[in-house]
Chains A and B, each alone.
Chain A
Amino acid sequence: MSVVSRATPRRTAVPRPPRTARRAGTGRLAAALLSPTLLVLGLVVAYPVVAAFRLSFMVSSESIDPETGFRVTTSSYGLDNYAAVFTGERFLRPWWNTTSFALVSVAAEVLIGVAMALVMHRAFRGRGLVRAAFLVPWAIPTAVSGLLWKWIFNSQGIANELLGAKVLWSSEGFQAWFSVVIADTWKTAPFVALLVLAGLQIIPGELYEAARVDGASPWRAFWRITLPLVRPALVVAVLFRLLDVLRMFDLPYVLVGPRKHSVETLSMIAFEEMSNLRFGTAAAYATVLFLYIAVVAFSFVKLFGADLIGRGTGSPQ
Chain B
Amino acid sequence: MSSSQMSRRGCHREFGHEGAGRESGLPVAPRTRPAVRTRPAARTWAVAASAALLATALAGCGGADSSEPAAGGPGEFTGRGPITLATGKDTTRTLQGQLERWNKDHPDEKVTMVELPESADQQRQQFIQNAQTESDAYTVLNLDPIWVAEFAANQWVDALPAEEFPLDRMLPAVVRTGEYFGKQYGIPFNTNAGLLFYRKDLLDKAGARPPATWAEMKAACAAVAKLPEGKGVGCYAGQFDKYEGLTVNFSEAVASAGGTVVGADGKATVDTEEARKGLEFLAQGFKDGTFPKESSTYQEEDGRRAFQSGKLLFHRQWPYQWTLANTTDGSSKVAGKFAVAPLPGLAGPGKSSLGGLDLAISKFAKNKATALDFIKFFSNEANARANLEATSAAPPYTALYDDPALRKQFPYLATLKESLIGATPRPAVVRYGDATAAIQESAAAALSGSTSVDAALADMQRNLSAAIDEK
Could you tell me which A residues sit within 8 Å of B by CB distance?
Answer: 58-65, 68-80, 82-83, 86-87, 154-156, 166, 168-172, 257-260, 272, 275-277, 279
B51 to chain A, nearest CB (A): 4
A288 to chain B, nearest CB (A): 13
> Is the beta-carbon distance between A58 and B242 smaller than 8 angstroms?
no
* Given A59-B47, A79-B46, A259-B437: A276 and B297 interface contact (C-beta under 8 Å): no
> Is the beta-carbon distance between B441 and A279 smaller than 8 angstroms?
no
> Is the beta-carbon distance between B296 and A168 smaller than 8 angstroms?
yes
Interface contacts beyond A87-B40, A276-B431, A277-B128: sample of 16 additional A-B pairs, CB < 8 Å, sorted by A: A59-B51, A61-B470, A69-B181, A69-B430, A72-B64, A76-B54, A76-B62, A78-B46, A78-B50, A82-B36, A154-B302, A155-B297, A168-B297, A258-B243, A277-B431, A279-B2
> Is the beta-carbon distance between B448 and A171 smaller than 8 angstroms?
yes
B15 to A, closest residue via Cβ: A54
A171 vs B2: C-alpha distance when bound (angstroms): 35
Within 8 A of A (CB), among B27-57: 32-33, 35-36, 39-40, 43, 46-47, 50-51, 54-55
> Is the beta-carbon distance between A78 and B47 smaller than 8 angstroms?
yes
Is B241 engaged at the interface, CB distance under 8 Å to the other chain?
yes
Within 8 A of A (CB), among B286-309: 293-294, 296-298, 302, 305-306
> Is the beta-carbon distance between A156 and B306 smaller than 8 angstroms?
yes
Contacts of A70 in B (CB 8 A): 65-66, 70, 153-155
- Contacts A/B (CB < 8 Å), 25 sampled: A59-B47, A62-B1, A62-B471, A65-B64, A68-B70, A69-B149, A70-B154, A70-B155, A71-B154, A72-B65, A72-B66, A73-B64, A74-B64, A78-B46, A78-B51, A79-B35, A82-B36, A87-B40, A171-B242, A172-B242, A257-B242, A258-B243, A260-B242, A275-B124, A275-B125
Contacts of A170 in B (CB 8 A): 241, 297
B448 to chain A, nearest CB (A): 7
> Is the beta-carbon distance between A71 and B241 smaller than 8 angstroms?
no
* Given A65-B66, A76-B50, A78-B32: A71 and B296 interface contact (C-beta under 8 Å): no
Could you tell me which B residues sit within 8 Å of A by CB distance?
Answer: 1-2, 5-6, 21, 25, 32-33, 35-36, 39-40, 43, 46-47, 50-51, 54-55, 58, 61-66, 70, 121, 124-125, 128, 149, 152-155, 180-181, 241-243, 293-294, 296-298, 302, 305-306, 430-431, 433-434, 437, 440-441, 444, 448, 470-471
Contacts of B241 in A (CB 8 A): 170-171, 257
A170 vs B243: C-alpha distance when bound (angstroms): 12
* Given A58-B1, A83-B40, A168-B296: A276 and B434 interface contact (C-beta under 8 Å): yes
> Is the beta-carbon distance between A77 and B54 smaller than 8 angstroms?
yes
Contact residue among A155, A258, A260 (Cβ-Cβ distance under 8 Å from B294): A155
* Given A70-B153, A156-B302: A259 and B180 interface contact (C-beta under 8 Å): no
Contacts of B63 in A (CB 8 A): 74
Contacts of A71 in B (CB 8 A): 65, 153-155, 430, 470
